Amino acid sequence: MKRFAVVLLTVLMVGPVLFVTAVEAGAPIRIGALYPITGSLALLGEESWRGAEIARQFRNQKGGVAGRQIEYVRADVPDVNAAKSEAERLISRESMKLLIGTYSSSLSLAASEVSARQNVTYFELGGISDQITERGYKTIFRTCPKAQLFSKSQMSFIRDWVAPQIKKKPEEVRVSLVHEDSAYGSSIARNLEAEAKAGSVPLVSVIPYDSKAIDLSSVILRLKNDKPDVVVGVSYANDAILIGRQAKELGLDIRAFIGTGGGHSLSGFAEALGAGSDGVFNVDFTQYEVNTKFTPGLPEFVEAYKKTFNSGPRSGHSLANFMGATALFDILEKTGGDMDAAKFRTAALAYEAKLGTTATGWGVKFGENGQNTLAETFLTEWQNKRLVTVWPEGAAVAKPNLVRPFSK
Amino acid sequence: MSDLFLQVVVSGLLIGGVYALLSIGLTMIFGVVRIINFAHGEIMMLAMYLTFWLHTAYGIDPYLSLLVVAPVIFALGVAIQRLVIQPILEAPPLMKVFATVGLYIALQNLALMLFTADFRTIQTPYASASFRVGAISVSEPRLYAFLCAILLIVVLWAFLKFTLVGKALRAVAENRTVAALMGIKVTRLYLLAFGVGAAITGVAGTLLLPFSYVFPTIGSIYTLVAFVIVVLGGMGNMLGAFFGGLFIGLVESFSGTYISPAIKEAAYFVIFILVLLVRPQGLFGMGKGSEEVGLK
């Protein structure tokens, strides 16, 4: 009887442990993936997801993380309400311990707010609004550069390159800002105003608009009135094209246009505007026409992308998500696949990759607030309908060329 | 500065022409059938999709596709009148409102299901071409849209003024019962009025597509604009809808340029409220009860 009790006790104590570890070892690692795949943000949302998907395939082919395959549980988040409710659903109903996403900053802010309150890690791969990592949460990480960096490099490009080209002192260059008025555009706008002040470049006008507007001629007419030398634009996909078309229709005469990622990086932008896209500069994540010595793994990514999706990548968003998801899997490897928020944070803060060692050329080193301090932006230019990297020189494949934008 | 002013006027009038066409469709249906059609923007959305698919699948130029879009949307209008409105013609007005609101929700969600929520545009060689007169530029597709709109409005006006059917339509608009006593087949004319109103709206959609884009919920934006214009001009008044359209186009253009593009809508609603306070019957309305007089 006594022996039976011992056996029973042993079974009761060890059994569940054995059972659980057996399941855990074989069971896939499930990660929630929130992207807008319908609605006005669908194009780049889908593009972003594709990058994360290829990172997953690569890792699974190599045996996964800690011997377990990786699975995404996808959620479509076309708007802020959906982002909130889907994050809620993934955490409570699907018991997700880790979420990735999101492309759009507004969506990321909403979804990560939900996850942070439930102590679930949110790993942002593409939203750039500064706020995302500035709310004091310990469970939010971001691999891509934040908005501040975009404005910084736009301003230094205007001061260091555009000003001498148009034979003006930096203090004399007239700059206008045209931005869509959601979290993405407003975030860039605030930064650019601060940077302009700090760099004493005069910002002659700031023009917000609704990205769903059906007519933006008033934006162009205001620009014509303000007569800027340089226009900085912050747009999503359709509004970027609409502004380009109407600038051409109304004969807007400016020396340079600098976009801020988003719609100005899309291949569709050049397709819609044709030669009119020539000369449009753009500050963004790493693009494909870049010095690949600086971005190991990029050609392999493009090849896998083409094989999986039967076309080339449509913007750098997929590459940024690929890079971020790969870093995520590396960190999970360190925790042995454990997605507990505290353990993940320790592993993430300890994780390091040098500049020029990832597919985007970025390094990885998370600050206390979860922001990757080694993420960089590059300056590209549309030349003959190709988006080539022109700045900084280490990553450049062509020289910047001053052409009047939207003139052809 | 004066160049800018002129350009603002031109841009405002160009978009206003299309607004006018859209509103005339709405006011036609309202004036004759006495239905407040909340699914108005959705009819336009369907026309835009039809134009989009004709262009994408068969490479048909959007202006050429008018030959297909107008009859198809006319048939759609007739079908809506026959199947949705006619059975409840004698029902209380609120019931009819519910019917068209239901139709609007159904059509919008059907489009979301069939076409997904993506924004669609078409690429044409003249998409961003423009004519230049001095310092003023006039966008080609916008000018075509404006001219088509004006032409159609003139044709419609002549039709109502000079043809027998047109006269019958106006008679029905003025007094349904007396028109019936005079031997006019009222229900048949209702079918015609709804069909024509829908077709005009469809044409407006097609004309917009070359320089705009389409997505399933775009209808509600235009329904709102059309209602503002129709009420502003005086319900059921075609001339009012025409000038109201041009007026709202100008308000959008001026407030967007001289104040901020972000407050365009706010600006015309403020004016709308002011007009209702000062002249509740609308700019071209003819005093109390004139909305009962209908199509003029």
Q: What is the pLDDT of residue A328?
A: 97
- The partner residue sitting opposite B128, judged by closest CB among A78, A221, A276, is A276
Structure letter (DSSP) for residue B291: G
pLDDT band at residue A18 under the 50/70/90 scheme: very low
Contact A215 B252 (CB under 8 A): yes
Q: What is the pLDDT of residue A5?
A: 59
> Cα separations (Å) of B52 from A73, A216, B106?
34, 21, 21
Check the CA dihedral B96-B102-B106-B107 and report its sign: positive
Structure letter (DSSP) for residue A279: T
C-alpha of B107 from chain center: 17
Taking one residue from A and the other from B, the number of pairs with CB-CB distance under 8 angstroms is: 99
Contact B119 A215 (CB under 8 A): no
Judged by phi (left if over 0) then psi (alpha if -120 to 50, else beta), residue A382 lies in: beta
CA A71/CA A264 separation, integer angstroms = 32
Q: What is the pLDDT of residue B1?
A: 55
CA distance A151 to chain B (A): 22
Whether A245 has its CB under 8 Å from any CB of chain B: the answer is yes
Whether A357 has its CB under 8 Å from any CB of chain B: the answer is no
Flag whether pLDDT at A281 surpasses 90. Answer: yes
Chain B residues with beta carbon closer than 8 angstroms to that of A209: 261-262
Percent composition of chain A: helix, strand, coil (DSSP 3-state, to 5)? 45, 20, 35
The domain of B177 spans 2-223
| Bond from prior residue into B217 cis (ω within 30 degrees of 0) | no
Nearest CA in chain A to B127: A245
Question: If DSSP codes are grouped into helix, strand and coil, which group holds residue B81?
Answer: helix
Reference B37, options B175, B179, B227, B203; nearest CA is B227
Q: Kindly report the average pLDDT of chain A as a whole number.
A: 90
Question: If DSSP codes are grouped into helix, strand and coil, which group holds residue B37?
Answer: coil
User: Residue range A167-172: average pLDDT?
Assistant: 93
pLDDT band at residue A279 under the 50/70/90 scheme: very high
Share of chain A above pLDDT 90, in %: 72
Chain B residues with beta carbon closer than 8 angstroms to that of A186: none
Sequence-separated (6 or more) residues with CB below 8 Å from residue A49: A33, A35, A37, A74, A321
Q: Work out whether strand A98-101 and strand A29-35 pair parallel, antiparallel, or are unpaired.
A: parallel
Q: What is the pLDDT of residue B36?
A: 87
CA A318/CA A309 separation, integer angstroms = 12
Of the candidate ranges A180-189, A269-278, B112-121, the one whose mean pLDDT is the lowest: B112-121
Q: What is the pLDDT of residue A223?
A: 94
CA distance A208 to chain B (A): 6
C-alpha gyration radius of chain A:
23
Nearest CA in chain A to B143: A249
Q: What is the pLDDT of residue B13?
A: 93
Phi, psi of B188, deg, nearest 5: -70, -40
Contact B259, A205 (CB under 8 A): no
Contact A208 B260 (CB under 8 A): yes
Q: What is the pLDDT of residue A74?
A: 96
Phi, psi of B54, deg, nearest 5: -60, -40
pTM of the model: 0.77
Strands (DSSP E) found in A256-351: 256-260, 280-284
Nearest CA in chain A to B213: A214
Contact A248 B128 (CB under 8 A): yes
Q: What is the pLDDT of residue A22?
A: 42
Contact A218 B261 (CB under 8 A): yes
CA distance B277 to chain A (A): 28
Structural tokens at position A292? 């690949």
| Residue B200 within a domain | yes
| Bond from prior residue into B216 cis (ω within 30 degrees of 0) | no
- The partner residue sitting opposite A221, judged by closest CB among B11, B123, B262, is B11
| Residue B57 within a domain | yes
Q: How far apart are the first and last CA of chain B?
A: 40
Contact A216 B261 (CB under 8 A): yes
CA distance A250 to chain B (A): 5
Q: Where are the alpha helices (DSSP H) in chain B?
A: 2-33, 40-58, 66-80, 93-115, 140-162, 164-174, 176-181, 186-208, 218-233, 238-258, 264-278
| Residue B82 within a domain | yes
| Residue B37 within a domain | yes
Q: What is the pLDDT of residue A2?
A: 58
Nearest CA in chain B to A215: B212
Contact A217 B11 (CB under 8 A): yes
CA distance B32 to chain A (A): 30
- Within 13 A of A34's CA, how many CA atoms are on the CB side? 36
Q: What is the pLDDT of residue A24?
A: 52
Contact A209, A217 (CB under 8 A): no
Identify which has the larger pLDDT, A9 or A71: A71
pLDDT per position as a tens digit, A241-257: 889 989 988 889 999 99
Contact A213 B261 (CB under 8 A): yes
Q: What is the pLDDT of residue B293?
A: 39
> Cα separations (Å) of B88 from A278, A380, B85, B99?
58, 61, 6, 9
Phi, psi of B206, deg, nearest 5: -60, -40
Question: If DSSP codes are grouped into helix, strand and coil, which group holds residue A232?
Answer: strand
| Residue B83 within a domain | yes
Sketch out chain A's domains with CATH numbers: 22-145+294-365 (3.40.50.2300), 148-284+378-391 (3.40.50.2300)
CA distance A305 to chain B (A): 22
| Residue B216 within a domain | yes
What is the interface pTM, i.e. ipTM, of the complex? 0.76
Q: How far apart are the first and last CA of chain A?
A: 94
pLDDT band at residue A13 under the 50/70/90 scheme: low
Whether A219 has its CB under 8 Å from any CB of chain B: the answer is yes
**Chain B residues whose C-beta sits inside 8 Å of any chain A C-beta:** 1, 4, 7-8, 11, 15, 116-119, 121, 123, 127-130, 132, 137, 139, 142, 208, 211-213, 215, 218, 221, 252-253, 255-257, 260-262, 264
Chain B residues with beta carbon closer than 8 angstroms to that of A249: 128-130, 137, 139, 142
Chain A residues with beta carbon closer than 8 angstroms to that of B128: 244-246, 248-249, 273, 276
Residue to test with chain B: of A37, A180, A206, A250, most B Cβ within 10 A? A250
Contact A250 B116 (CB under 8 A): no
Whether A408 has its CB under 8 Å from any CB of chain B: the answer is no
Q: What is the pLDDT of residue B265?
A: 80
Flag whether pLDDT at A21 surpasses 60. Answer: no
Contact A116, A140 (CB under 8 A): yes
- The partner residue sitting opposite B262, judged by closest CB among A40, A181, A215, is A181
Which string of DSSP letters, residue by residue, matches A363-408? -EEB-TTSBBTT---EEEEEETTEEEEEESTTT-SS------TT--
- Within 13 A of A239's CA, how many CA atoms are on the CB side? 26
pLDDT per position as a tens digit, A325-365: 999 999 999 999 999 999 999 999 999 999 989 999 999 99
Contact B260 A39 (CB under 8 A): no
| Residue B260 within a domain | no
pLDDT band at residue A9 under the 50/70/90 scheme: low
Q: What is the pLDDT of residue B296?
A: 39
Contact A264, A233 (CB under 8 A): yes
Judged by phi (left if over 0) then psi (alpha if -120 to 50, else beta), residue A200 lies in: left
CA distance B119 to chain A (A): 6
Q: Work out whether strand B130-133 and strand B136-139 pair parallel, antiparallel, or are unpaired.
A: antiparallel
3-class SS letters over B82-150: HHHHHHHCCCCHHHHHHHHHHHHHHHHHHHHHHHCCCCECCCCCCCCCEEEECCEEEEHHHHHHHHHHH
Flag whether pLDDT at A271 surpasses 80. Answer: yes
Check the CA dihedral B222-B223-B228-B230 and report its sign: positive
Of the candidate ranges A30-44, A297-311, B193-207, the one whose mean pLDDT is the lowest: A30-44
The low-confidence residues of chain B, meaning pLDDT below 70, are 1, 285-296
Nearest CA in chain B to A250: B137
Number of domains within chain B: 1
Chain B residues with beta carbon closer than 8 angstroms to that of A47: none
pLDDT per position as a tens digit, A81-115: 999 999 999 999 999 999 999 999 999 999 999 99
Q: What is the pLDDT of residue B278?
A: 87
Chain B residues with beta carbon closer than 8 angstroms to that of A217: 11, 15, 253, 256
3-class SS letters over A198-221: HCCCCEEEEEEECCCCCCCHHHHH
Burial string for B16-44 (b: 16+ CB within 10 Å, else e) reads bbbbbbbbbbbbbbbbbbbbbbbbbbbbb
Residue to test with chain B: of A47, A215, A241, most B Cβ within 10 A? A215
Q: What is the pLDDT of residue A8?
A: 53
Reference B248, options B61, B76, B12, B5; nearest CA is B12
